[in-house]
Amino acid sequence: MSEKDYQDAGLKLLPNGLAWSKKLTGTFSKLFAGIGSTFAQIDAEANQAINETNPAWANVMLPEWEELLALPECGQTGQTLAERQKAAGYKWHLKGSLNYKFYEDWIKGAFGYDIEIVTRHPHHCMRPCNYPLYSDEYKSRAEVYIRISSDSPYRYFNVQDRVNDPLVIGQPSIVECILNKYKPAHMEFIYHYEKKES
């Protein structure tokens, strides 16, 4: 409710009579206008507190949400408020899955990277005769194709980097870090980087 709403409500609650002037220029009107501004401010802060209960809308409590959700992921920096809220909202509502489509959709929706996960399954008697003969070691291995736009800043590891730096340094390595963090423990991902056509 606004300040005017609280002022009107206060004036309507006054008893009838000459001592209780309900004119907008009267003393009681000015009193309820002052009280109404305080109540309107409390009302606005209560509405904001409701928004703070969801990390996708939070402003004031966003740092606390990020601490709870262990964000930003893999050392991401320089994100806007909207990007931080989006990442917090995605992670808060995240329900893990063993399905590769889940990871493709999640990485695209939450972080904006276009990836494709390709699996190779071993041959067995129910497959067609021309199916490739992948060995059992491919059962727990998947290839991840990360399509990078040409304006995305990244570079490959060189001799001047530290030993424990990733082989690809920059934004694409964040995808690797996130997938390695959330993938099923028995899976091994092999990463391929491709330039995305603009």
**Total H helices, total E strands in the chain:** 6, 5
Helix, coil or strand: residue 148:
strand
Q: What is the pLDDT of residues 163-175, one digit of tens each?
A: 776 666 666 677 8
Q: State the average pLDDT for the chain.
A: 82
Task: Give the pLDDT score at 174.
Answer: 78
Q: What is the pLDDT of residues 112-146, one digit of tens each?
A: 778 888 887 776 788 788 877 766 666 677 888 87
Query: Is 53's pLDDT higher than 90?
Result: yes
Domain limits, the chain = 3-51, 95-196
Helix, coil or strand: residue 66:
helix
Token reading at 61 = 């409590």
Q: Are 192 and 146 in contact (CB under 8 A)?
A: yes
Task: Give the pLDDT score at 150.
Answer: 47
Q: What is the pLDDT of residues 95-115, one digit of tens each?
A: 878 788 888 888 888 777 788
Q: Among 155, 184, 176, which residue's Cα sits nearest to residue 75?
A: 176
Task: Give the pLDDT score at 63.
Answer: 94
Q: Are 168 and 193 in contact (CB under 8 A)?
A: yes
Query: Is 153's pLDDT higher than 60?
Result: no
Task: Give the pLDDT score at 57.
Answer: 92
Query: Is 189's pLDDT higher than 90?
Result: no
Q: What is the pLDDT of residues 64-82, one digit of tens each?
A: 999 999 888 887 777 789 8
